[in-house]
Amino acid sequence: MSWGRVKTPPPPRSALSKLLPLIILFVLLIAITVFAYYIYVSVQKISKAANEKIQSKNVVFTKDGMRVGVKEVNTESYVGTTQSFLVKAWNLSTWPEYKSRFWNKEQQQAPENGKLHARHP
């Protein structure tokens, strides 16, 4: 008994139209999750590479702060290197043309074939 047109009820919605917003939501959540996972993996790889590079330079991060280590040097290699530099300096310290008034008063022989001979300790 209402005046005017009689409204017909809309047709019932199909199951697909009811599930479509839920499917779109799941697809978006999966895409965001995959994107976030790849960002996480990339950050972990960069962090690991940076940590290995820093550790190769004897710098370590601890929970208390940063610790810098000193590379060990063997006594034998240290002494050998020092000795070789001293021998090189000793060999290069002679001037064949230099004659002092106080020492080396004997005649020095000229080097053979114009080549200087290294002094052996």
pTM attached to this predicted model: 0.43
Query: What is the structure's pLDDT at 35?
Result: 98
The two three-digit tokens of residue 94, written as one number = 């002679």
**Within the chain, where are the H helices?**
15-56, 75-92
Closest CA to 95 of 111, 82, 112, 113: 111
Q: Is 61 helix (H, G, I), strand (E, B) or coil?
A: strand
Query: What is the structure's pLDDT at 20?
Result: 93
Query: What is the structure's pLDDT at 26?
Result: 97
26-59 pLDDT, tens digit each: 999 999 999 999 999 999 999 999 888 888 887 8
91-118 pLDDT, tens digit each: 777 666 666 666 655 555 555 565 666 6
The two three-digit tokens of residue 24, written as one number = 């779109």
Closest CA to 97 of 114, 83, 80, 81: 114
CA–CA separation, 58 vs 52, rounded Å? 10
What is the residue extent of each domain of the chain?
A: 15-68
**Higher pLDDT, residue 112 or 77:** 77
Q: Is 67 helix (H, G, I), strand (E, B) or coil?
A: strand
Q: What is the mean pLDDT of residues 56-82?
A: 81
